[in-house]
Amino acid sequence: MLGAISVMTLCTFLYSFAAQSLYFALVQAFFGFAYGATGTIYLAFFVEALPPDEDRHHAMGYYAGCLAIGYSAGGFAAGYVADKFGYALTFQLASVLGLICIALLLFLRPPPSSQAVKDPGKEKSDQPALASLKAMLEPRLATIVVVSLFLNLLHQMGHAFLPLYGLAVGLTLTQVGAIRAFYSLCNAIIRPFSGSVAKRVGQRRLSRAGLPLQSAFMMLVPLFHDFGPLVTLFVLAGFLRALVLVANSISMVEDIDTTRVSRGIVSGVYNAAGDIGNILGPSAGGLIATLTGVAGLFVVGPLMIVVLFFLSLWGCRPSAR
């Protein structure tokens, strides 16, 4: 993890010198690889470091909430610094954050692994890579992958095409930006408290019900052209996204047998599914918008996502295997 963060820090600094497209592409490629590795490794590291008496519902809520706060604060701070001092200095200052992370990892020691304390007589199995990959086809892990994939697909589809819809119905860029800001703020505020909701409702039930409800709010978007109703819809959608994201991350921690599949592979598959959803959202949205228009996209896209979501869950049933 130290190596991956070091590469991210170096790449962030090198962005300020990457003036040509080839150099920029190389820096971006290395940064993306290191960023993906860091997210995967740190998630596994965080879960393993939880003490045995820690409420994992709350812990995963705080973890997801800190990510959202970091994204929001980082985006705002980067924009402000770039406006005041330029892009080059912004990247150079951002690389200092990487150095702080490296220092924290070097000087802070995690508590003993909760799994080791809970099951002192139960050793982790050193599985061959092929056996561990086969374990990923288990229904519970497959279900977590499906939720992560479609949750991010829906998020990116709406996120990418909201500006086009907003401008088409007469909103200003400031209003569009405010809608996206409130959506992100709702995600950041709700996530730390989502663990308590998942504990009461059940993380599996919340994961399955939350995404269709979020899709329903997105399908109402074409009915409204004014700022007030649209910001309300996106805040409600952001609220549900936060609940589902935390519930699914709790399922990843609690519902998977780590003696059959390693925590690292579970974390990697979980993050990869989200990344695939991030890629497919704008791509599929663009194709749908070409056929239906931007307004039609907000109806057809979420509807198709819900249908495919339930078909995928049906395919993940134990009886289907």
pLDDT in tens, 279-318: 888 889 999 999 999 999 999 999 999 999 999 888 877 6
CB 258 within 8 A of CB 124: yes
**Neighbour count for residue 306 (Cβ, 10 Å):** 19
pLDDT band at 229 (very low <50, low <70, confident <90, very high): very high
For the whole prediction, is pTM greater than 0.85? no
Torsion angles phi and psi, residue 226, rounded to 5? -105, 160
Distance, in Å, from the CA atom of 179 to the CA atom of 1, rounded to the nearest integer, reads 35
pLDDT mean over 29-46: 81
pLDDT in tens, 100-143: 988 888 887 655 544 444 444 444 445 555 555 565 667 777 88
Per-residue pLDDT for 68 more than 80?
Answer: no
Distance, in Å, from the CA atom of 58 to the CA atom of 269, rounded to the nearest integer, reads 22
Distance, in Å, from the CA atom of 242 to the CA atom of 256, rounded to the nearest integer, reads 21
Question: How far apart are the two ends of the chain, measured CA to CA in Å?
Answer: 36
* Ranges of CATH 1.20.1250.20 domains, the chain: 129-321
What local confidence, expressed as pLDDT, does residue 132 receive? 54
What local confidence, expressed as pLDDT, does residue 212 receive? 93
Q: For the domain covering 129-321, report its CATH number.
A: 1.20.1250.20
pLDDT mean over 66-90: 78
Per-residue pLDDT for 1 more than 80?
Answer: no
**Neighbour count for residue 165 (Cβ, 10 Å):** 21
What local confidence, expressed as pLDDT, does residue 111 receive? 55
291: exposed, middle or buried (Cβ count in 10 Å: 0-12, 13-18, 19+): exposed
110 vs 22: which has the higher pLDDT: 22
CB 191 within 8 A of CB 246: yes
Distance, in Å, from the CA atom of 87 to the CA atom of 94, rounded to the nearest integer, reads 11
Long-range contacts of 292-295 (CB under 8 A, 24+ apart): 294/161, 294/164, 294/165, 294/168, 295/165, 295/168, 295/221, 295/222
**Neighbour count for residue 263 (Cβ, 10 Å):** 19
Per-residue pLDDT for 76 more than 80?
Answer: no
pLDDT in tens, 172-201: 888 888 888 888 888 778 877 777 787 788
What local confidence, expressed as pLDDT, does residue 125 receive? 47
CB 242 within 8 A of CB 192: no
Q: How many residues does the chain have?
A: 321
pLDDT in tens, 231-290: 999 999 988 988 888 888 888 777 776 666 677 777 778 888 888 888 888 889 999 999
